Structure 1
Amino acid sequence: MKASSVFDKVHGPSTTQERVYSEMVSPQVERILGGYNCTLFAYRQTGTRKTYTMEGGSGEHNSDKEDPTMLAQEVRVKDRAKVYRLLRRNAQERTTAATLMNMRSSPLQSSM
């Protein structure tokens, strides 16, 4: 049996974090704020000097051997107003309602 994989996009080693964010992450953030689910999976080979701190830091490259806890680069939100507009718009479109789903899974509730 031959194994196969499907990818939406493969970025080369010279691709910047900003480009990855604008092409892959930003559209998904808008979908999430619109009420949809999404999964983003990023992989990089250990020791490829593509690691940064989760908290941001200086943005200087670090080797996995220097500090194995440095796993990602912070990409700062450049347009906070856009984020707040999306949050407000989606909050207006959001509704809350009761369903009967819990009655099926909770014997105490169904006996009431």
Structure 2
Amino acid sequence: MITLTEQAALKVKEMLQDTDDPEQQYLRIGVQLGGCSGLSYSMGFDPDKKDTDLELQQHGVKILVDKESLPHLKGTVIDYKEALMGGGFSIDNPNAIAACGCGASFRTATEAGKPEDC
């Protein structure tokens, strides 16, 4: 399961207002190959649910996760923090055994033998 904190959900709802037809949009969360640690996070809005997607709803936000990404994201908590220079989402992934300095890419135990390019 992936957890979207209440603060993150408020920010997502705010961002949804800038999309076409916000009521029809899902927050799609996933991982893809790439980044200097092996995998990188992806997060964005998507109006289309696929048969292979897991659908969640938290704090009024509809979330989609593709089944290939789910094992890499199980137990992940997504939060949003306000800061002096703006703010941003933070991802706490218990499956990550290594992460790039920027925090955008990570490696799990299944990718432990792959080289890092950072």
TM-score by length of 1: 0.22
> As a proportion of its length, which structure holds more helix?
1
Ranked by relative contact order (alpha carbons within 8 Å, sequence separation 6 or more), the top structure is 2
